[in-house]
Structure 1
Amino acid sequence: MDNRELLARLIKCEAGGEGDNGMKAVASVVLNRVRAPGGEYQRIGQGNVRNVIYQKGQFDCTRPVLGGVANPQTLWANPPEQIHYDIADWALAGNRLFTVGASLWYFNPYAPCPYLFPYNGNGTFQVKVENHCFYNPTASYFQS
């Protein structure tokens, strides 16, 4: 599977029901991690989409088991459609959803967005796009 298809699959799995902006926001985070100027994502990702997507514990869609039960929503079980490829191409071409800014994290809290995420204080709330909250890195992230 090439980077384009891998990213398209992740977009569908992580944000397929979030509309164009929701999917673009998730794709923006992945590419922000690929291009991170420092910290954990620069060290682990090394500018590689595959390294970022498969980094352990980052995306539920890469886990065959969640909470001890088979995960029905994986990269492998959800073939992308043309819209997912189009958004992957958009992101791989260097585009970003401007409202997401430099966000390196997102999650769906099923509640109001907390100010800090991850809970170690490395991110501060940037914006909510559809059901996901997005977080920009703090200075402490770059020392992690």
Structure 2
Amino acid sequence: MAYSDRELLARLVQCEAGGEGENGMKAVASVVMNRVHAPGGEYARVGRGSLRNIIFQPGQFVCASETENGRYNAQNIYNMRPEAIHYEIADWAMAGNRLSPLGQALWFYNPYSPLCRENFPSEVGIFTHRIGDHCFYDPLDAYFQT
């Protein structure tokens, strides 16, 4: 299917953070758009300013994959049915807005525990905030060498 960038972001936000409340969804949208506009490193090379390239970069978002570990992934963006709030958050993020405590966060993950790792992924990101179940990470200078 040929979804617009707005539709893709709304679906990804719903899939990745639909149960995290408005700030959780805004945080995920902020990370996605930070990647789109990354001034260097892997996301600048892969994304080249394209939301679609960022969302569909292999291994980045479980929700952008129809299969995980060789099995069908029922929770994917194609099975989402975004509501008005998801489109509002997509529009908000695409207009250049970011959730203020996140800075330039490029990564998030759910540790399924109350603690967030200090660095993620590996040694190129440093923990900045936890919002809901997700830990968020800003890039270190080492990221821009990736």
- Where on the TM-score scale, by shorter chain, does this alignment land: which range? over 0.9
Match for residue 11 of structure 1?
13
Match for residue 51 of structure 1?
53
Q: 1:115 aligns with which of 118, 129, 134?
A: 118
Q: 1:97 aligns with which of 94, 99, 122?
A: 99
* Structure 1: segments with no counterpart, 5+ residues: none
Query: Is 1:139 aligned to residue 141 of structure 2?
Result: yes
Q: 2:4 aligns with which of 2, 5, 11?
A: 2
Deviation >4 Å, runs of 4+: none
Cα distance between partner residues in 2 of 1:117 and 1:67: 21
1:115-138 per-position Cα deviation (integer Å, ceiling 9, x unaligned): 00002x010001000000000000
The AA in structure 2 aligned to 1:118 is P
Match for residue 73 of structure 1?
75
Q: CA deviation at 1:69?
A: 2.0
Tell me the TM-score normalised to structure 1 length. Answer: 0.97
* Structure 2: segments with no counterpart, 5+ residues: none
1:60-107 per-position Cα deviation (integer Å, ceiling 9, x unaligned): 001111233211100001121110000000000100001111000000
Cα distance between partner residues in 2 of 1:3 and 1:79: 15
Cα distance between partner residues in 1 of 2:139 and 2:93: 20
